[in-house]
Amino acid sequence: MLLYLDKRRSYLVRVERERRVHTHKGFIDLTGLIGREFGARIHSNKGVEFVAFKPTIRDYIFKISRRTQIIYPKDISLIVFFSGIGPGSRVVEGGTGAGALTAALANYVRPSGKVYSYEIRREFLEVAAENLRRTGLIDHVELKNRDLTEGIEERDVDAVILDMATPWLVVPHAYGALRGSGTFVSFSPTVDQAVKTVEALRQNGFAGIETFESMFRGMQIERGRTRPETLMTGHTGYITVARKALR
Amino acid sequence: MLLYLDKRRSYLVRVERERRVHTHKGFIDLTGLIGREFGARIHSNKGVEFVAFKPTIRDYIFKISRRTQIIYPKDISLIVFFSGIGPGSRVVEGGTGAGALTAALANYVRPSGKVYSYEIRREFLEVAAENLRRTGLIDHVELKNRDLTEGIEERDVDAVILDMATPWLVVPHAYGALRGSGTFVSFSPTVDQAVKTVEALRQNGFAGIETFESMFRGMQIERGRTRPETLMTGHTGYITVARKALR
Amino acid sequence: MLLYLDKRRSYLVRVERERRVHTHKGFIDLTGLIGREFGARIHSNKGVEFVAFKPTIRDYIFKISRRTQIIYPKDISLIVFFSGIGPGSRVVEGGTGAGALTAALANYVRPSGKVYSYEIRREFLEVAAENLRRTGLIDHVELKNRDLTEGIEERDVDAVILDMATPWLVVPHAYGALRGSGTFVSFSPTVDQAVKTVEALRQNGFAGIETFESMFRGMQIERGRTRPETLMTGHTGYITVARKALR
Amino acid sequence: MLLYLDKRRSYLVRVERERRVHTHKGFIDLTGLIGREFGARIHSNKGVEFVAFKPTIRDYIFKISRRTQIIYPKDISLIVFFSGIGPGSRVVEGGTGAGALTAALANYVRPSGKVYSYEIRREFLEVAAENLRRTGLIDHVELKNRDLTEGIEERDVDAVILDMATPWLVVPHAYGALRGSGTFVSFSPTVDQAVKTVEALRQNGFAGIETFESMFRGMQIERGRTRPETLMTGHTGYITVARKALR
């Protein structure tokens, strides 16, 4: 259950009898939510109204990302879209990190697809596993404590999706793992990472190579004084996409 | 099959014996592609190399959108993501237009979900039906020649997604059609449409209302002379999202 | 003198014998700067190096703006440029605020031009006067404690430049005050202010009406890990420009 | 005289008896403008209305830039502002190109300052000289047919401003030519040029080094259907600024 106050403050909770959630706006007794429909309004002991939403994949990702700040909804959505994946796709991902992107990929390859997610840092894998259990998506993911720069075990996958420091080292392995026409997607904060990745793609038989960035700006909507928001994230990273062409 | 030359020129074709595709770079005899794997390279009679990619949802949408220019990948991906939909979701959409957004939605609700797509202009419905057949997604869509501003027939849907001139007129119907906590998403080119839509959402029991826009900029990657691309689309539209809170 | 540490921390000081400036990086004894050239390096008692720059108009404006947050260098520079002013121009400005834009205008109309700056809030005029004295530009400005929405006293001015809540109320007065072909420039945070201003300009004989916004993004330059900065101001305001056409 | 039709179509002309200007909207007999005030409206033989504006520095630059496409108003205005120049400043500039940036600099250093503008391509110098004569700013400029990468002849200048392919080669010369605390500004299209320039600045005793880019987006203002413009220039170049610190 997502107890929603406003777009910056919401609480992901499990509804149980006699459980209380403490917020800056007072506490909420979750007993009152048992048996109620999603979308129900509930008040804290200080009389502040919250809405009890059913969490979506976006909410889960927002919660996971907040702790690690690695990747943003604007980027996750483009990565998913440009990867061309959908229900049934088999996807190799790395690094897993806290599992935010993993959760998004798992959500879209359900029910018959699979995400093979590589991560070398064991402590992150545990965090990711917990996050994926919470979102109910763990069955669609195989977490692997292995180094993607040393090789990919899967073959004929539909997409290889990277959010790691040295994606160019994975490019030759990605070529081997992808089916013909399969997609490669990489997210990197620096220009130099994008350049090295594009060069590796060009040297390794990929075609349709493109790099881009997106910017996201909120609007304050109020009749008579509508304006874009002052605060904006200026940069997260560049996304590079490509497809495997046969040699 | 997508015959890919570069990111601005590609050709979506059906591979058949004795069929030729004429391009600015000469013609390609499709007989040569029969039995070959996706990702194969093929040359036109002028010796120019093309790659025969398996089309992804992104390619289909790009082809559909080019003719109508309504909605962009950067927007479609955010709409899908913020709607929270996935395999199994039931979605009401309108207007159908040429079916670009419809195809994206259908792709992600497969195999058990459904898109109910409303369109008042009968000639568009025919174009959309043809486009959806081509993408193989028609079975996941119910096309309806009805006016969304007059009502929604479905109940307990997961999302209502609008790309139409007067979305605010649909807001009360969307409230009735959505399950509690279900999402509303609307795409509109003008500030005024966004303002009217947000006001209608506030008056009709929605919470979690947000409006934003995204910008997309390509990069020219070339070692020693990397730079953002000169050409950029400055604006397509604002996206407004909200969720149904119970009264 | 501007004691510069880095782009976020600098100190505008008057160099005097026996004066100390206290910073987060220790104190600096200004005696050591007497008789030294601009650009000299000096160390705090903690051994941190500062550079003693001659302040430019940009530094003055940065210092003035920091306290009021009204208007940004990216906007000031476009306002100056689109106004078409230069040495000798006569300019009406309002509201004065803390004098940041006033200082920029005064800097560029020197030595023979004049800025007539209107402000209704007397307390702001005092702050502005002090800021303009500090920058040495006060002689090129006439500060006026009057309401621009009630009329403009000057005639045949080259430009009317507004940063105030209701610029549209000044449009008819601006028409009267401007010489033929003179420029009108207005800066406003909201879409609605821009719309009302443009409508007033259309109704009052102006031509060449344009509204735009600019965005400014810093780069982190470091060989091998160059990237745009994460922090960015998403919006400050819209700039509307126009020119007086005779009726 | 600037015959203004709309923001994309205007004509810079010299008013003379019996002279006709031919436009897409018919011809205009300039005899009718003799003795009339700036801002006067005049009709073509097809009845289309033009406004006869007095050209501003912005108009001149727009006309000069259109032929060479090198540098944009959004960039020129930031270059001028961050350079800190004003009436009386002595500025070294290179390359001259068609003289667009030269004209802007000359406009702001008037009446007592000077722009020393270097250009190795003799044919450009002739174009620039003609453009500067047209704008009436030639007396404030000294055009020099010399290579800036080989040295700067002036000393104690207030600013060195570069729009050339290899600005980093000029950095050591700029250090020698600038007075202490003087400003260096360079405009370059690629990331790599910005990186090389920043590195040269760091190695040559400059401080206050910053690199940034700006984006400019027009608005279509129409009550009830206001929106940003679709067309936008996605990238022109990066601006790097720095100041000379003494060693």
Which of B58, B210, B226 has the CB atom closest to A218's CB atom?
B210
How far is it, in rounded angstroms, from Cα A236 to Cα A233? 7
Of C192, C233, C234, the CB nearest to A224: C192
Picking from B199, A225, A161, the residue whose alpha carbon sits closest to that of residue C192 is A225
**How far is it, in rounded angstroms, from Cα B58 to Cα B77?**
10
C58–D contact, CB cutoff 8 A: yes
Are C228 and A235 a contacting pair at CB < 8 A? yes
N- to C-terminal Cα separation, chain C:
50
Searching chain B, which residue's CA lies closest to the CA of residue D69? B230
Positions in chain B short of pLDDT 50: none
Q: Which of A227, A233, A236 comes nearest C235 by C-beta?
A: A227
Positive/negative CA dihedral, B79, B83, B85, B90: negative
Closest Cβ opposite residue D234 in set B224, B229, B236: B229
Q: Which residues pair with A218 in a beta bridge?
A: B212
- Residue C86, SS3 per DSSP: coil
Tens digit of each residue's pLDDT (9 = 90 or more) over D17-32: 888 999 999 999 999 8
Q: Is B8 left (phi over 0), alpha (psi -120 to 50) or beta?
A: alpha
Chain A residue closest to C235 (CA)?
Answer: A230
Q: Decide if pLDDT at D108 tops 80.
A: yes
Asked whether the beta carbons of B242 and B184 are under 8 A apart, the reply is yes
State whether residue C24 is helix, strand or coil.
Answer: coil
- The span from the CA of A146 to the CA of B142, in Å, is 44
Which chain C residue is nearest to residue A190, measuring alpha carbons? Answer: C227
Judge: B224–D191 Cβ closer than 8 Å, yes or no: no
- pLDDT above 70 for C161: yes
> Which helix (DSSP H) or strand (DSSP E) does residue A124 occupy?
helix A122-135
Ramachandran sector of residue A221 (left: φ over 0; alpha: ψ -120 to 50; beta: rest): beta
Residues of chain C neighbouring D228 (CB-CB closer than 8 A): 213
Residues 124-163 of C with CB under 8 A from D: none
Longest dimension (CA), chain C: 67
Query: Is the bond into B208 cis (omega within 30 degrees of 0)?
Result: no
pLDDT of residue D63: 85
CB pair distance less than 8 Å for B195 and A226: yes
Chain-chain contact of C234 with A227 (C-beta, under 8 angstroms): no
D191 Cβ under 8 Å from any chain B Cβ? yes
Percent residues over pLDDT 90 in chain B: 84
Q: Which chains touch C (3 or more CB pairs under 8 A)?
A: A, D
Query: What are the tokens at C159?
Result: 């430009």
CB contact at 8 A, D28 and D50: yes
**Whole-number Å distance between alpha carbons of D114 and D142:** 7
Residues of B whose CB is below 8 A from D235 = 217, 227-230, 232
Q: How far off is chain A from B244, nearest CA to CA, in Å?
A: 6
Residue A82, Cβ neighbours under 10 Å: how many? 24
Query: How many residues would you count in chain C?
Result: 247
Chains in contact with B, where contact requires at least 3 CB pairs less than 8 Å apart? A, D
| pLDDT tens by residue, chain A, 247 residues | 899 999 888 998 888 888 899 998 999 999 988 989 999 999 999 999 999 999 999 899 888 876 565 678 899 999 999 999 999 999 999 999 999 999 999 999 999 999 999 999 999 999 999 999 999 999 999 999 999 999 999 999 999 999 999 999 999 999 999 999 999 999 999 999 999 999 999 999 999 999 999 999 999 999 999 999 998 999 999 999 999 999 8
Per-residue model confidence as pLDDT tens digits over A18-77: 889 999 899 999 998 898 999 999 999 999 999 999 999 989 988 887 656 567 889 999
Q: B102 with B124: CB under 8 angstroms? A: no
Which helix (H) or strand (E) segment holds residue A94: the answer is strand A90-94
Task: Answer for the pair D142, D108: CB distance below 8 angstroms, yes or no.
Answer: no
Cα nearest neighbour of D159 on chain C: C56
Q: Which residues contact B16 (CB under 8 A, 6 or more apart)?
A: B30
Q: Does C212 touch chain D (CB under 8 A)?
A: yes
Mean pLDDT of C2-31: 90
Given CA atoms D134, D140, D144, D149 in this order, what sign does their dihedral have? Answer: negative
Best probe of the A interface among B9, B12, B56, by most A CBs < 10 A, is B56
pLDDT at position C72: 87
Contact C56 D183 (CB under 8 A): yes
Coil, helix or strand at residue A146 = coil
The beta-carbon neighbor of A194 closest among B7, B219, B243 is B219
Instruction: Please indicate whether, in this complex, the C-beta atoms of B224 and D192 are within 8 angstroms of each other.
Output: yes
The C-alpha atoms of residue A33 and residue A31 are separated, in whole angstroms, by 5
Task: Establish if B231 touches chain A: CB-CB under 8 angstroms.
Answer: no
pTM for this model (two decimals)? 0.94
Q: Is the pLDDT of residue C129 over 90?
A: yes
Q: Which two structure tokens, joined as six digits, stand for A79?
A: 């990565």
D221 touches chain B (CB under 8 A): no
DSSP-assigned letters across all residues of chain D: -EEEEETTEEEE----TT-EEEETTEEEEGGGGTTPPTTEEEE-TT--EEEEEPP-HHHHHHHHHHHH----HHHHHHHHHHHT--TT-EEEEE--TTSHHHHHHHHHHTTT-EEEEE-S-HHHHHHHHHHHHHHT-GGGEEEE-S-GGG-----SEEEEEE-SS-GGGTHHHHHHHEEEEEEEEEEESSHHHHHHHHHHHHHTTEEEEEEEEEEEEEEE--TT--EE-SEEE----EEEEEEEPP-
Model pLDDT, residue D202:
97
Q: How confident is the model at residue C204 (pLDDT cuts 50, 70, 90)?
A: very high
Smallest CA–CA distance, residue B48 to chain A, in Å, is 14
Q: Which amino acid is at D245?
A: A
Q: Are D27 and D19 in contact (CB under 8 A)?
A: no
C177–chain D Cβ distance below 8 A for any pair = no
Cβ pair B244, B178 in contact under 8 A:
yes
Residues whose CB is less than 8 angstroms from the CB of residue D53 and which lie 6 or more positions away in sequence, other chains included: C181, C207, C208, C243, C245, D1, D2, D4, D10, D38, D39, D59
Chain C interface, mutation test: which of A217, A235, A239, most C Cβ atoms within 10 Å?
Answer: A235
Nearest to C224 among A192, A223, A234 (CB): A192
The distance of B241 to chain D (nearest Cα, Å) reads 19
CB of D93 closer than 8 Å to CB of D154: no
Cβ of A32 under 8 Å from any chain C Cβ?
no
CB contact D229 to B (< 8 Å): yes
pLDDT, one tens digit per residue, over C130-150 is 999 999 999 999 999 999 999
**Which 8-state DSSP code applies to residue C37?**
P
Q: Residue B183 has what pLDDT?
A: 96
Q: Does A31 touch chain C (CB under 8 A)?
A: no
- Cα distance between residue D216 and residue D235, in whole Å: 9
Share of chain C above pLDDT 90, in %: 84
Query: Tokens 């900029």 identify what position?
Result: B217
Q: Is the peptide bond before A228 cis (omega within 30 degrees of 0)?
A: no
Q: How many CB atoms lie within 10 A of CB C21?
A: 18
A234/C229 CB distance under 8 A = yes
Mutual orientation of helices D57-68 and D73-83 as an angle, nearest 10°?
120
Phi-psi region of C190 (alpha: psi -120 to 50; beta: other; left: phi over 0): beta
Residues of D in contact with C244 (CB under 8 A): 39
Which helix (H) or strand (E) element contains residue A102?
Answer: helix A100-109
> Amino acid identity, residue C183?
T
Alpha helices in C87-219 (DSSP H): 100-109, 122-135, 171-177, 191-203
Beta carbons within 8 Å of C240's beta carbon, 6+ residues apart:
C167, C184, C185, C186, C188, C194, C197, C198, C201, C209, C210, C211, D221
Size of interface B-D (CB pairs under 8 A): 57
Interface check for C217 against chain A (CB to CB < 8 A): the answer is: yes
- Lowest mean pLDDT across C4-18, C88-102, C111-125, D78-92: C4-18
Task: Give residue-wise pLDDT tens across range C64-108.
Answer: 876 565 678 899 999 999 999 999 999 999 999 999 999 999 999
B230 vs D227, D228, D234: nearest CB:
D234
Cα dist from C143 to C138, C217, D228, whole Å: 9, 34, 36
Residues D200-210: tens digit of each pLDDT: 999 999 999 99
Integer Cα distance of B181 and B208 in angstroms: 10
Round to whole Å and give the CA distance between D63 and D77: 16
Of C13-27, C168-182, C191-205, D131-145, least confident by mean pLDDT is C13-27
- Across A149-181, b (16+ Cβ under 10 Å) vs e yields beebebeebbbbbbbbeebbbbbbbbbebbbbb
Q: How far is A215 from chain C (nearest CA, A)?
A: 10
Mean pLDDT to the nearest integer, D84-109:
95
pLDDT for position A130? 95
Contacts across the A-B interface (CB distance below 8 Å): 203
Residues of chain D numbered 2-21 and touching chain C (CB < 8 Å): 4, 7
Residue carrying the six token digits 């000299």: C40
Among C14, C11, C51, C53, smallest CA distance to C30 is for C14
Nearest by CB to residue C230, choosing from A226, A227, A233, is A233
A228 at interface of C, judged by CB pairs closer than 8 A: yes
Contacts of A130 (CB under 8 A, 6+ apart): none
Peptide bond into B151 cis (omega under 30): no
Q: Which of C84, C107, C219 sits opposite D211 (nearest CB)?
A: C219
